[in-house]
Amino acid sequence: TTVLDFVRDQWAQLGVFMAPSRPPDTWAQDPEALLVFSLDVARADARLFDEILDWLRLSGGALSGRRLHLLAHNDGLDGALVSAAVGWAAAHGSSLRLPADGQLRPSEQVSVFERPGIPGREDEIFLRHGLVKPPTRPSSKSSTPDRLLPINLAFRLRDMFGVTSRAEIIRFLLTTGVPNATTLAISEAALSTKRNANEALNELWRARLVERHFVGNEARYGVDRDRWSSFLDVLPETIPTYLDWPALLRAVGEIRRWLEVPGADDLNDYLRASEARRLMTQVKPNLERSGVLVSERGLAEEYWPSFV
- Which DSSP letter does residue 113 get? S
pLDDT at residue 295, rounded to an integer: 86
Q: What is the pLDDT of residue 264?
A: 73
CA distance 126 to 113: 12
Partner residues linked to 131 by β-bridges: 110
What is the rounded CA–CA span in Å between residue 279 and residue 308? 13
Beta strands at 181-182 and 218-222: parallel, antiparallel or unpaired: antiparallel
CB 38 within 8 A of CB 70: no
Q: Across the strands, what pairs with 221?
A: 181, 212
**Residue 112: what pLDDT?**
95
Residue 304's contacts (CB-CB under 8 Å, 6 or more residues apart) are 269, 272, 273, 276, 298
pLDDT on residue 65: 96
pLDDT at 120: 65
Residue type, 65: G
List the chain pLDDT tens, one digit each, 308 residues.
699 999 999 999 999 999 888 899 999 999 999 999 999 999 999 999 999 999 999 999 999 999 999 999 766 789 999 999 999 999 999 999 999 765 666 667 899 997 766 666 899 999 999 999 999 999 999 999 999 999 999 999 999 999 999 999 999 999 999 999 999 999 999 999 999 999 999 999 999 999 999 999 999 999 999 999 999 999 999 999 999 999 999 999 999 999 888 877 788 888 989 999 999 999 999 999 988 988 888 888 889 998 98
Return the pLDDT at 74.
65
Q: Alpha helices, DSSP H only, in 15-99?
A: 31-41, 46-59, 65-72, 76-91
The DSSP call for residue 208 is T
pTM to 2 decimal places = 0.94
Alpha-carbon distances of 223 from 175, 177, 181, 245, rounded to whole Å: 10, 7, 10, 21
Question: What pLDDT is attached to residue 114?
Answer: 78
Across 188-219, b (16+ Cβ under 10 Å) vs e yields: bbbbbeeeebbebbebbeeeebbbeeeeeeeb
Which residues lie across from 212 on neighbouring strands? 221
pLDDT score for 138: 96
Closest by Cα among 268, 273, 264, 275 to 301:
273
